[in-house]
Amino acid sequence: MPISPTTAKTIALAGKYAAAGISNDLLGLASFLTDAGHRVVLEHETASNLAMTTYPSMNSQQIGRLADVAIVLGGDGTMLGLARQLAPYQVPLIGINQGRLGFMTDIHMDQMFPVLTDMLAGNYQSDQRCLLEGSVVRDGIEIASGLAFNDIVVARGAGAGMVELRVTVDGHFMYNQRSDGLIISTPTGSTAYALSAGGPLLHPGLAGIVFVPIAPHALSNRPIVVPDTSLVIVEISAARDASVNFDMQSFAHLLVGDQIHIQRSRHLIHFLHPKEWNYYHTLREKMHWNEYPTLNGQLS
């Protein structure tokens, strides 16, 4: 059902509260939405950190139950945190970037009001993204778990030697690996840490899980993509100090013999984009594919 002034009655706002000028930007957006006939609420941490009391605040559970759409001002990191919290509630998300164009926050600040006016009138594209869920199992008991929108990373500790990992997919042994760690990424996360470690770019519409070794001892350990229906188990075979993190937000320290069980989450993240949004345009902007080296004003 289209989001419109008659359906999007409650709109939640969240912002990167450490960003300069964010209070004025949020208040300006809230006033714009209120004048358009919407009820505006602020995400609790945003309101608390900015000491904003003009509008009611809600935690993620309340937003999930009551909000028709959530708008995030900030960058991809801000969107990442809220998206993970709201995934179980299927609240659509709109991202407004305060700085450079983001992969997930794709509306420029200077275009915010006309673009939102168009989107809230029902002129938008919808986009669903998958998440990963992982659990740490020690001696048959789950000791930690987490959701990841970008990636789950198993890595050696600072100053420690390599970790040795045993990886199975759907019960089939895939490989042993000695490395600084292993990135297990969603297609969305393929443009994050996985990319910097030499992984492939995956279109977010693809159904896959990406494995990217971090500085592997054997050069034959290359990135690989497996179906997103897979159950992945990463076991710590040897390590002096190792950990696992979920989107760099939650951590667990690992011991030899610990297993990390990873699979696609049943939850999806729902993004709304401007009608003219195009994933390849975003790639060109972020990856600078539209720039060419020049020599004295001529193409080199």
Residue at 180: amino acid letter: D
CA dihedral 95, 96, 98, 99 (to 10 degrees): 70
Instruction: Mark whether 258 is an active-site residue.
Output: no
Beta strands in 98-140 (DSSP E): 107-108, 124-138
Q: Which residues pair with 147 in a beta bridge?
A: 133
Cα(147)–Cα(267) distance, rounded to whole angstroms?
A: 10
- What pLDDT, on a 0 to 100 scale, did the predictor assign at position 100? 63
What mean pLDDT do residues 96-111 have?
83
Rounded mean pLDDT of the chain?
91
Q: If pLDDT is split at 50, 70 and 90, which confidence band does 300 have?
A: very low
N residues, the chain: 300
Cα(170)–Cα(226) distance, rounded to whole angstroms?
A: 10
In this structure, of 219-223, 232-236, 256-260, the range with the lowest mean pLDDT score is: 219-223
Is a pLDDT exceeding 80 seen at residue 102?
Answer: no
Domains of the chain: 10-123+275-294 (3.40.50.10330), 131-265 (2.60.200.30)
Task: Write b or e for each residue in 17-35: b if 16 or more Cβ atoms lie within 10 A of its Cβ, otherwise e.
Answer: beeeebbebbbebbeebee
Q: If pLDDT is split at 50, 70 and 90, which confidence band does 298 have?
A: low
Is a pLDDT exceeding 80 seen at residue 160?
Answer: no
Please state, for a pLDDT cut of 70, what percent of the chain lies above it. Answer: 92
Task: Say if residue 171 is exposed, middle or buried (CB neighbours under 10 Å; 0-12, 13-18, 19+).
Answer: exposed
Q: Which residues contact 100 (CB under 8 A, 6 or more apart)?
A: none
Q: Give the active site residue among 25, 68, 76, 258.
A: 76
Q: ∠ CA(131), CA(187), CA(72), 5° rounding?
A: 60
Q: What is the maximum alpha-carbon separation in the chain?
A: 66
Instruction: Specify whether the CB–CB gap between 103 and 277 falls below 8 A.
Output: no
pTM of the prediction? 0.90
Q: Which residues pair with 128 in a beta bridge?
A: 270
What mean pLDDT do residues 130-145 have?
97
Cα(195)–Cα(222) distance, rounded to whole angstroms?
A: 13
Of 7, 112, 121, which is closest to residue 69 (Cα–Cα)? 7
Beta strands in the chain (DSSP E): 10-15, 39-43, 57-58, 69-74, 93-97, 107-108, 124-138, 141-148, 151-156, 163-169, 172-179, 181-185, 208-214, 224-227, 232-238, 242-246, 250-254, 259-274, 294-295, 298-299
pLDDT tens string 237-296: 999 899 999 999 888 999 999 999 999 999 999 999 999 999 998 888 888 887 666 556
Q: Which residues contact 288 (CB under 8 A, 6 or more apart)?
A: none
